[in-house]
Amino acid sequence: MAVSMASLSCKGLKIAPTNQPIAPFASGSVAGSGFLVPVPLKLRSISSISLKVQGTASPTAVEGGNSDTDTVPVPKVIIDQDSDPDATIVEITFGDRLGALLDTMNALKNLGLNVVKANVYLDASGKHNKFSITKASTGRKIDEPELLEAIRLTIINNMIEYHPEASSQLAMGATFGPEVPQEVDVDIATHVKVYDDGPDRSLLVVETVDRPGLLVDLVKIITDINIDVQSGEFDTEGLLAKAKFHVSYRGKPLIKPLQQVLANSLRYFLRRPSTEEDSY
């Protein structure tokens, strides 16, 4: 019943073979993840950005903002494919510690992307940096899971580069940062649920321990059992990853037996212990 990633075309998401390069990268890699991540670039002006600031704080012209408070806030990176039909929305929050993130925008540009709009606003949880991004080659939103994951890892890498204290609050701090985060029990942290979501699709909700490559792996597991991923949202909240995918089977919602197959497949994959390739 499994299908090849190379031949699959999902509505809203096009799955590219994982052995294909997704974009030119600068040097630097994520150990064990299969992804190359750009190293921080020098600041350059970005003429295509319209930066609108709401609230009283003024972002600085460097990556770092306020880091004076003792309590380290929970970093959040949200990749939203639902809100805008023409662009992928990325939202980054780390209390009030982030500046204008010009280096992060340049790093995204180095992935072959355009940041077409940027907005900064404040609320009780801190400063939110929100970007609308598109592929430079097409002017459209990003629909390849591999590229979406590269965006996520790039943002987290840059956050830890300029705010090393964030590494203790991120699962990928063990890969990128100087401070190793505490371990989270994956069995306790993993939750998978499927809900009815209208006449032609279902809503899959997954929460688990974060790690590099997770977004791509989730999409592959879903599509390997012939379920289409239409759109969704992938959130990194500290040590956890939270995903919401709109899914369907042949243009219809998932029936209960198929919902159970999907949930069991994801639970098995997410909870199984990792095994080194050369250990058997």
Burial of residue 67, with CB atoms counted within 10 A of its CB: 0-12 exposed, 13-18 middle, 19 or more buried: middle
If you ran DSSP here, which 8-state letter would residue 280 be given? -
What is the C-alpha to C-alpha distance for residues 115 and 132, in angstroms, rounded to an integer? 6
- The helix/strand count (H/E) of the chain reads as 6, 9
Span 191-230, pLDDT tens digits: 999 999 999 999 999 999 999 999 999 999 999 999 999 9
* Nearest in space to 66 (alpha carbons), one of 174, 209, 163: 163
What is the C-alpha to C-alpha distance for residues 187 and 11, in angstroms, rounded to an integer? 32
Span 143-183, pLDDT tens digits: 999 999 999 999 999 999 999 999 988 988 877 667 777 78
Whether the Cβ atoms of residue 111 and residue 147 lie closer than 8 Å to each other: yes
List b or e across 219-257, with b for residues whose CB sees 16 or more CB atoms inside 10 angstroms.
Answer: bbbbbbeebbbbbbbbbbbbbbbbbbbbbbbeeebbeee
- Which ranges of the chain does DSSP label H, i.e. alpha helix? 102-110, 145-162, 173-176, 186-189, 214-224, 256-271
Per-residue pLDDT of the chain (280 residues; tens, 9 = 90+): 433 333 333 344 443 444 444 343 333 444 444 444 443 333 233 333 333 333 333 333 345 555 555 688 999 999 999 999 999 999 999 998 888 788 999 999 999 999 999 999 999 888 999 999 999 999 999 999 999 999 999 999 999 999 999 998 898 887 766 777 778 888 888 999 999 999 999 999 999 999 999 999 999 999 999 999 999 999 999 999 999 999 999 999 999 999 999 999 999 999 875 544 333 3
